[in-house]
Amino acid sequence: MSATLQTQSSQAVGPVFDRGEEIGFVTLMLAGMLCGVPVLAVREVVTNSKIVRVPLAPAEIAGNINLRGRIVTAIDTRSRLGLDQAPAAAERVALVAEANGALYALLIDQVLEVLSLPADQIEELPVNFGAAWRTYSKGVHRLADRLMIVLDLQALLSFQP
């Protein structure tokens, strides 16, 4: 049985950032790092879903989940970003988004809260972030006590055949 939190989504993968406006971000934890994705890009958050492995799939594909009868590809976000694997016993949360007419579930460690932040305060990534972070993020947002990495869902969900 899976617990699901529904969110409104009018766009697949999310808006382009317009300067001078506030953007709602779903904040999440990924390998101890605070990240955010535009709230309008998130279809829903799913917990306790069973992942069925896909033989010969790339390491970034964790498998498939059944979302109310629809097959959804589960992406191992840690692997996609070149991070250490989650402990085997760790509970993972699936953040569901749509790209090119298909649903994808990004496996993350934890969903935190929704923050409304000014779009014009997103800065470039610091130079010490690696190539994967540069490919899969739009920059960082300075919060009072830490940086929030703004993930680029379009890039994370783009796969070359």
Three-state DSSP state, 148:
strand
Mark 60-98 as b/e (b = at least 16 C-beta within 10 Å).
ebbbbbebeeeebbbbbbbbbbebeebeeeeebbbbbbb
Please give the tally of structural domains in the chain: 1
Question: Is residue 4 scored above 50 in pLDDT?
Answer: no
Q: Is residue 149 part of a domain?
A: yes
Q: Is residue 56 part of a domain?
A: yes
Q: What is the CATH number of the domain that holds 57?
A: 2.40.50.180
What's the average model confidence in pLDDT over 26-48? Answer: 93
Chain mean pLDDT for the chain: 85
Q: Is residue 31 part of a domain?
A: yes
Q: Is residue 40 part of a domain?
A: yes
What's phi and psi for 7, nearest 5 deg?
A: -130, 160
**pTM for the model:** 0.81
